[in-house]
Structure formats: structure tokens, C-alpha cells
Chain A
Amino acid sequence: MVPPPTTSPPSAAAEQELLALLRESSTREAGFRTLLRTYQERVYWHVRRIVNTHEDADDVTQNTFIQVYRHVEKFEGKSQLYTWIYRIATNEALGLLRKQKRQQPLSVDSELAIEQAQVTAADAPIDADALQAKLMAAVARLPEKQRLVFNMRYFDEMSYKEISVVLGTSEGGLKASYHHAVKKIEAFITA
């Protein structure tokens, strides 16, 4: 079993140092490489949980960091750097899903993902792997906002405050969404 990446994001002081490197043209590339090494895996897994396939996750992750590189000079530091990066990644991932939905109005991809998760869950023996497959199937069936909140809370262990920065919604609404998501998943797993 490989544990999920739950390493804490860098401290505010470390982020400031990183930003200073990024804003100086002579140290920009070195700073950006440090940023990539620090966040690439977390961002990839966050995106992967939204878009399901590695190819899409790879595209979105790369696009996310290119956006970060282009706009980091305009980052005002009102929020943490990593929540800003998460926000870009989330928007990029959702944008890709919407684009795919427009191209395939019946949302074949998401339906397939749900079906695959359900088949895997049904076929697997009752052990941790089967339970994990069932959880993935349950998450895939959640509405978009509940799925995002559950992923960020459950897998990335983000606070409601951080999630509210990423999604631009109130903490109260997020708590309600997470609560509903957990109830639905629990019902699906125990069914």
C-alpha cells in the first residue's frame, strides 16, 4: 500500500522566500523548479481525483503550472501560494471536464468512470482494495461540489478555510457539502 501524499504545505515564511525567487528574473527559473518539486505531486493527485485518467491529469497538471509561471508575478499574497495553485488546478480540471462534456453531451466519460468503478468494486474480493474501489465509485457518483470538497478534505486534509479559498465559497456551505458527501459515501459502501 502506498500512502497518499499528505505532506504539509510549506510554511508561510518558506512561501515568501519562494515568491521572492520567482519575482526576480535572475532567480525565476530556479525558484520555479523549486515550486514544481514542492507542489507537483500534490497538484497531480488533486487533479487526478477530478479527471480520473492519467493522461488528462498530466495535461491539466502541466497547464496548471504553466499558468502559475505566467501569472505568479501578479500573485498578491492575499492567500497562501499553494491554495492559489490549487484554485488554478481545480479550475483547469473542471474546465477540461466541461469541455469533454460539450464534446460528448451524454457525458460518456464520467458515466464510464462510474461504471468502471462499480464493476471493479463488485468484482474485487472484500478486502481493502475492494473497499477502496467502492469508495472511488461512491465519490465518482457525487455532485461536482461535494466531490471536490470531499477530495480536498479527505485526501488532501485541507481546512475548510483553505478549501473556501480554493473554491471561492463560504465555510458553512463547505461543511454542509462535506457532511452530505460523507453520508452518501457511507450509505454506498455499506449497501
Chain B
Amino acid sequence: MKPNLHDSLPPQLRDLKSQWKQPSVPDGYFGGLEDNIMARIKAEEAFAEWRTPAPTARPTGWEHWRKVLFSPLWQLGMVATLVFALGVGYHYWSPVPDESLALTSEEAAWYVEQNIDDFALTTIETALGTSLSEADWATTPAFEESEEALEEYLEEYMIDDLDTDLLETYL
């Protein structure tokens, strides 16, 4: 059997316990305490909700990218990058207008004739398809030995191109 908690108390204290009279409380206090506490809890919750901004859901997927792509800062960055890329592309890959292609064959011939000294020997050789080196010149007729040979050569290759005064000086 469980011993009484107050068995060990002095008799006066034991008797007092059984006759104990609580201090007074306002009428109906305990009847309204439950509602008072609940009202305070609801008021505190409402206040806390009012103070705390509603959490905005973090956008996901397309919604997230749509927000990023349409943000002014992002758009400005994209435009700057595009302009830079176009500039670089234009600088490196734009076709160089080949004005020579627009020349007629007569114009090209005239240009070469006027600027023959500016062309490298190899370029001329490539264009003519023949060698112009000094070794090859040996195959030309030995004009010093024969005037007839010179005349024949001139007649065959150059006579039409020489002007008359110059031809007379040679002859």
C-alpha cells in the first residue's frame, strides 16, 4: 500500500492540509481563462503574420528562366555581349571586297603594264607560264654574232611593239 505523502508531517500541518482554503480569485476567473489564453495566442499569431512578409515561392523551371531573361540587367548584358560579338565577327570574318574582280581584262592589262616594276619576277613567271631567269636567256639568239639573227628576232617577237624612233636607233 502506498504510504500517504503527509504521514510524516507534524499533526498540525497534516490537519491543515485537509482543511486548506484557497486564496480568493475573481468570480468566473477559471471559466474565462481558457478563452483569454486562446485570444492572446490568436492575437500573437496574427501579429506575427502581419510582421512577417509572406514567403514568395522560389520560381522553378521555365518560370525561373523567364524571370532571369526578362530582367533589365540581364537584357542589357545580353545586348552588350551581342554588340561585342558582332564587332569581333565583323573584324575577323567580313569578306574583303576584291576590287580586281571587278576589272575588265583590258583594265587589268593596262594596270600591269603601268606597274610592271612593282611585280615580283616570280609573279610574272607564274602569270606567263614561262621562266625568265638569266640561264634561259642563253637560248636567245646570239645577236652580237649576227645582225641577221637580231633582225629575225625582232621581226618575229617585238617589231610590232617598238616605236619607230627607237627602232631606228637600234638599226
Taking the complex as formed, is B171 at the interface, i.e. its CB lies under 8 A from any CB of chain A?
A: no
Which of these, A45, A66, A153, contacts B22 with CB under 8 Å?
A45
Which of these, A37, A129, A153, contacts B34 with CB under 8 Å?
A37
Which of these, A66, A128, A186, contacts B19 with CB under 8 Å?
A128
Contact partners of A122 in chain B: CB under 8 A: none
Scan B21-49; emit 1 where CB is below 8 A from any A CB, else 0: 11111100110011011101100100000
Please tell me if the beta carbons of B41 and A66 are within 8 angstroms of each other in the complex: yes
Taking the complex as formed, is A119 at the interface, i.e. its CB lies under 8 A from any CB of chain B?
A: no
Please tell me if the beta carbons of A190 and B21 are within 8 angstroms of each other in the complex: no
Supposing A29-B38, A40-B30, A44-B30 touch, asked if A3 and B10 sit within 8 A by C-beta, the answer is no
Please tell me if the beta carbons of B13 and A36 are within 8 angstroms of each other in the complex: no
Supposing A33-B38, A54-B25, A65-B37 touch, asked if A3 and B13 sit within 8 A by C-beta, the answer is no
Please tell me if the beta carbons of B21 and A1 are within 8 angstroms of each other in the complex: yes
Please tell me if the beta carbons of A2 and B13 are within 8 angstroms of each other in the complex: no
- Alpha-carbon separation in the docked complex, A65 to B13 (Å): 32
Contact partners of B6 in chain A: CB under 8 A: 154
Please tell me if the beta carbons of B17 and A154 are within 8 angstroms of each other in the complex: yes
Please tell me if the beta carbons of B33 and A36 are within 8 angstroms of each other in the complex: yes
Taking the complex as formed, is A61 at the interface, i.e. its CB lies under 8 A from any CB of chain B?
A: yes
Please tell me if the beta carbons of A189 and B12 are within 8 angstroms of each other in the complex: yes
Which of these, A62, A135, A190, contacts B16 with CB under 8 Å?
A135
- Alpha-carbon separation in the docked complex, A36 to B34 (Å): 6
Supposing A41-B30, A185-B13 touch, asked if A132 and B41 sit within 8 A by C-beta, the answer is no
Taking the complex as formed, is B127 at the interface, i.e. its CB lies under 8 A from any CB of chain A?
A: no
Please tell me if the beta carbons of A157 and B5 are within 8 angstroms of each other in the complex: yes
Contact partners of A4 in chain B: CB under 8 A: 17, 20, 22
Taking the complex as formed, is A48 at the interface, i.e. its CB lies under 8 A from any CB of chain B?
A: yes
Taking the complex as formed, is A114 at the interface, i.e. its CB lies under 8 A from any CB of chain B?
A: no
Smallest beta-carbon distance A117→chain B, Å: 11
Taking the complex as formed, is B9 at the interface, i.e. its CB lies under 8 A from any CB of chain A?
A: yes
Taking the complex as formed, is A75 at the interface, i.e. its CB lies under 8 A from any CB of chain B?
A: no
Smallest beta-carbon distance B99→chain A, Å: 83
Contact partners of B13 in chain A: CB under 8 A: 135, 154, 182, 185-186, 189
Contact partners of B29 in chain A: CB under 8 A: 54, 58
Smallest beta-carbon distance B83→chain A, Å: 55
Could you list some 28 contacts between A and B, CB below 8 A? A1-B20, A2-B21, A4-B20, A4-B22, A36-B38, A40-B30, A44-B25, A44-B33, A45-B22, A48-B23, A54-B23, A54-B26, A58-B29, A62-B33, A66-B37, A66-B41, A128-B21, A131-B16, A135-B13, A153-B5, A154-B9, A154-B17, A157-B5, A182-B9, A182-B13, A186-B12, A189-B12, A189-B13
Interface residues of B (CB under 8 A from A): 5-6, 9-10, 12-13, 16-26, 29-30, 33-34, 36-38, 40-41, 44
